Copies of this chain bind each other. A is one copy, B any other.
Amino acid sequence: MISVAVLGCGYWGPSLLRNFAGSPCFRLVACADSNADRFERLAWRYPGVCFTTDYEQVLHDDAIDAVAISTPAATHYPLAREALLCGKHVLVEKPLATSVAHAQELVQMARCNGRTLMVDHTFVYTGAVRKIREIVEHEELGEVYYFDSVRVNLGLFRHDVNVLWDLAPHDLSIMDFVLQRQPVAVSATGGAHIVRPMMDVAYLTVYFDDGLLAHFHCNWLAPVKVRSIIIGGSKRLVLFDDCEPSEKVKIYDRGIDGVTSNDLYKKLVQYRLGDMYAPTLDTREALSVACEHFAACIITGQEPITGGAAGLAVVRLLEAAERSILQDSRKVTL
């Protein structure tokens, strides 16, 4: 059993506690948070766990093998860095860090120290996203033309990061995992309306070198919750609607047939309406799958699916997006 501690038990920490407590691979031993008020309800629920406001004590406790960091984004880097220095395996909430330089340093440190560094890109561990990856990998979509994501809500405002750093990591990590392709440029735009200059509405475009286009709409100020991704290909299209209670993934056997550019001025392009198919999905809780994977990587030494490199890839896109916004939305080459 891997002894694990959770750092930060605000919004996401309690879910980590619950999953580690319920996992056969981990022994949950400690939880640190600077705000002791948060311990009350939790301490009662996890009687054997040491709750403390002293992060240092946890990080330097040799009996602890791994830590999961779910503190504000700005503290991910310093805490993960110290944890790695102390020889811990580290699971960090997204984003891995708030700059490419920091993310790179963490990746480097984990590699040198032979420790597992994993980013909690939770969606990658859902049955839906794993199924979509499988579909794309088997080239069922044909050539992939575009990836369009909408993640909007009238919801929780974060005060540590803007809407782009809050919501886009989910969809960027899905894109990275599903497409397995290197983007070449990024542009972004957004608006700050409620608590200036904190951006609360943002649009992000990611460019690939063969015409593939990815686009992301992130919005804290929408009247309804939307969580949808469309991936359009030459043979089929996928719609992932995470707000559907079931049938979250639909595959449309629709496409565009037999067109050459000569036809262009002669006739309308022919398109084909085909069957739709919604595969059964693994319904295990994604975070539980992620925790198991973290354990497996610690034990075997393999690189996690959402390891430091995957975390860095997402931070790289976010940093480029920020730069684009500062430079009047121009396209920033990666």
A interface residues with partner B (beta carbon < 8 Å): 44-45, 47, 143, 145-146, 148, 150, 152, 154-159, 187, 189-196, 198, 201, 203, 205, 207, 211-213, 215, 217, 219, 221-225, 230, 232, 234, 237-239, 243, 245-247, 250, 252, 254, 256, 259, 261, 263-265, 267-269, 271, 273-280, 328-331
Query: What separation, in Å, do the CA atoms of A129 and B192 have in the docked complex?
Result: 27
B230 contacts A223, C-beta separation under 8 Å: yes
28 contacts between A and B (CB under 8 A): A44-B47, A47-B47, A146-B191, A146-B193, A146-B201, A148-B217, A154-B254, A157-B268, A157-B271, A159-B265, A187-B187, A187-B189, A189-B207, A192-B211, A195-B259, A195-B269, A198-B264, A215-B217, A221-B232, A222-B230, A223-B252, A246-B273, A275-B277, A275-B280, A278-B278, A328-B330, A329-B331, A330-B330
A205 contacts B189, C-beta separation under 8 Å: yes
| Chain B residues, CB < 8 A from A189 | 187, 205, 207, 213
Oligomeric state, in number of copies? 4
Query: What separation, in Å, do the CA atoms of A261 and B198 have in the docked complex?
Result: 10
| Chain B residues, CB < 8 A from A145 | 191, 193, 201, 221
Contact status of A146 and B221, CB under 8 A, knowing A276-B277, A331-B328: yes
Contact status of A196 and B261, CB under 8 A, knowing A203-B215, A232-B222: yes
Contact status of A237 and B256, CB under 8 A, knowing A193-B145, A203-B203, A273-B154: no
Query: What separation, in Å, do the CA atoms of A44 and B28 have in the docked complex?
Result: 14
